[in-house]
Chains A and B, each alone.
Chain A
């Protein structure tokens, strides 16, 4: 980016007219584009559609042969079974608290670190960054027992901070935002902020955050989803039936011999819908980011 910005932008008026065939080809290209995208969309949506269909069916219909891909009539019963066997409101509230805290903390801490890594030099930077990447390779699933011991020593078992604090900053997000910052924050802006006497945190807030909005929105959404869907760790660390997350509460519906799959599917659907809402709201920031990019260019 650094050597790019000083290159003078092309004048808005083209020096030579757009060739005619370009427009025609553009129309065909648009159709082809839509066609490709629509095929991809159908493939993406299909299993989700099936989930919705299954949530309207009984277990028998779900496992019936051939599979029925049309809506059944048991949706209300399935939802009722979920609602009566799960403290939906309480667990939903806990899940929202955990996911929101995780997302906000991760967005803040990760972008701070990413900005420092992307745009500044300091002793030990390379080694620290390699360490950061290396932690992403560390196998996670075996840490259940030691993490549980740790939490019980801290007296955090059964509390929501056991789900929030350990993940409040993560290597994944720092790496992602560092890569995005490398491309989208011009050095000149950082330099001029410095000349204006702005310190690191002021520069971060005024320069980095606005330009990283797209990446931040992505990171926020995915941290939210990950926290939302996390199951094994909450299962281990939450010991109070009054304080469950949505996923642990829904998984508790599974029994030993017989599972009511219609109910499980309805539960899965209920747990997914808020995520779609968060995505739609969060992705508005992508649009905002297009505008930011345009101004910058």
Chain B
């Protein structure tokens, strides 16, 4: 892959990857400009000792970045960290498509599966020696960074183990079990969880969760099986697939009336429901603790965490990757490994509350605060992280997942018949997959 670093000149022999764009441009004969076209640079900085990284605010410890700006430990290079806010993927993709001004290091969100089909644009970090630190990381997270062909392109940053957040005061009011231990054992299956929701509705006129989509996704996020396996087999089409079970669970929650029917796109309403106690719970990831503390500080001390039904899942959590044009892959990897060491991830948690992907970090961390009463969310989520199952997120899942979310929301908000909705989601998915050339 290092060969791809060299600048391709228009008119030269077709490069191994993506001849399409430039040949299209030249073929169209539209650009006399290409004559002068050796001007652009595949990397951003001209300085051979400067590595440019793209990240977004609060996804790295500012202090550590500062340190790397002076010198990346163990190398002769310096880091330049550029914040990219919204539209991160659009910016990264445009650079990769344009083959110009590509960062040497880039962060990628939990949607890294989107990049699997173009894995050739990223370096295999395993080849570069990343495996040496593999054992420091949660195995399931490490494996999420692996492409289906077995290349390790996405290095773990943070993780998002999930649990059931609930309002202890509302549960008490409804006369329900209300300590974390009691609730955890009362909701060990999804059926029990929904049954508890019915009692909550009756006792306190409050909802178990805001929307059916959250139920559907939380179920899948805690399932070892998702839409596809690594060989691109469509698991979701099989009878009693995990996707179907997740669907049935979400439908059961809707039919039992335990969802508040506030779809995700209405963030203001969702927040208001949690602050007012109209909705008394949420299946959320570790990073949601911080969101809740900042958006609903009036409810401090009222929230608790219970283990969600069956087992914990994972929602969110980012990666670091090296584009194929990276100036100095060794130094870049050294930086990634350094900033994500257990010690530095602990520092990042203290600085910007990034939840560590290295179990070792927790030895150095302690939670201070009483938003969750006596309960320690750090302890809760670090032990939840141990039970997150191995799973595989396919690129194709990103193409069809939306159909299922859309249809489950239809069932919830407009009373669409669940079977008809399921059939529509399946049909829509099939159409999309055929169009994208996944199915024939």
Contacts and interface: CB of A to CB of B under 8 A. Distances in A.
Q: Do A and B share a direct contact in the complex (Cβ within 8 angstroms)?
A: yes
A253 interface: yes
B91 interface: yes
Interface stretch (A43-51, A89-97, A186-194, A255-263): A255-263
Interface string A238-275: 01010000001001111111101000000000000000
Contact of A149 (B25, B275, B291, B298): B25
Contacts of A256: 56-59, 109, 316, 318
Contacts of A144: 90, 94
Contacts of B90: 144, 232, 235-236
Interface in B288-334: 288, 290-291, 294-298, 316, 318
A33 interface: no
Nearest to A257: B287
Interface stretch (B77-85, B360-368, B396-404): B77-85
B86 interface: yes
A135 to B, nearest CB: 16
A163 B36 CA distance: 21
A251 B85 contact: yes
A145 B94 contact: yes
B85 A254 contact: yes
A196 interface: no
Interface string B12-37: 00000000010001000001011011
A85 B85 CA distance: 13
A157 B87 CA distance: 18
B94 A148 contact: yes
Contacts of A85: 57
Nearest to B59: A256
B98 A152 contact: yes
Contacts of B296: 60, 63
A148 B98 contact: yes
B44 interface: yes
Contacts of B271: 63, 65
B37 A153 contact: yes
Interface in A3-20: none
Interface residues of B, number: 47
Contact of A239 (B21, B44, B287): B44
B40 interface: yes
A158 interface: yes
A59 interface: yes
- Of B100, B290, B353, the most chain A CB neighbours within 10 A belong to B100
A60 B297 contact: yes
Given A153-B33, A157-B40, A251-B85, A63 B101 contact: no
A248 to B, nearest CB: 8
A129 B268 CA distance: 46
Contacts of A236: 90-91, 94
A154 B56 contact: no
A152 B40 contact: yes
B276 interface: yes
Contacts of B98: 145, 148-149, 152
Interface string B40-59: 10001000000000001111
Contact of A64 (B21, B59, B275): B275
Contacts of A152: 39-40, 98, 100-101
Nearest to B52: A239
A255 B58 contact: yes
A63 B272 contact: yes
**Chain A interface category by residue count:** 20 to 34
Contacts of B87: 232, 235, 251
Contacts of B434: none
Nearest to A61: B297
A38 interface: no
A239 B95 CA distance: 10
A85 B352 CA distance: 15
Interface in A157-177: 157-158
B97 interface: yes
A116 B419 CA distance: 63
A257 B59 CA distance: 9
- Of B95, B98, B287, B291, the most chain A CB neighbours within 10 A belong to B98
A149 B317 CA distance: 31
B58 A149 contact: no
A235 B37 contact: no
Given A256-B56, A256-B109, A153 B86 contact: no
Interface in B57-108: 57-59, 80, 82-87, 90-91, 94-95, 97-98, 100-101
A59 B291 CA distance: 10
A258 B40 CA distance: 36
A157 B101 contact: yes
B264 to A, nearest CB: 15
A144 B296 CA distance: 39
Interface string A191-232: 000000000000000000000000000000000000000001
Given A235-B84, A239-B101, A258-B58, 5 more contacts: A59-B295, A145-B94, A155-B40, A241-B83, A256-B56
25 contacts: A59-B295, A60-B295, A63-B271, A63-B275, A63-B296, A148-B95, A149-B100, A153-B33, A153-B34, A155-B40, A157-B100, A235-B84, A236-B90, A236-B91, A241-B82, A248-B85, A252-B56, A252-B84, A254-B85, A255-B58, A256-B59, A257-B58, A257-B291, A258-B287, A258-B294
Closest 8 CB pairs of A and B: A152-B40, A152-B100, A255-B58, A155-B39, A251-B85, A65-B272, A255-B57, A252-B85
Interface of B: 21, 25, 31, 33-34, 36-37, 39-40, 44, 56-59, 80, 82-87, 90-91, 94-95, 97-98, 100-101, 109, 268, 271-272, 275-276, 287-288, 290-291, 294-298, 316, 318, 353
Interface of A: 59-60, 63-65, 85, 144-145, 148-150, 152-155, 157-158, 232, 235-236, 239, 241, 248, 251-258, 260
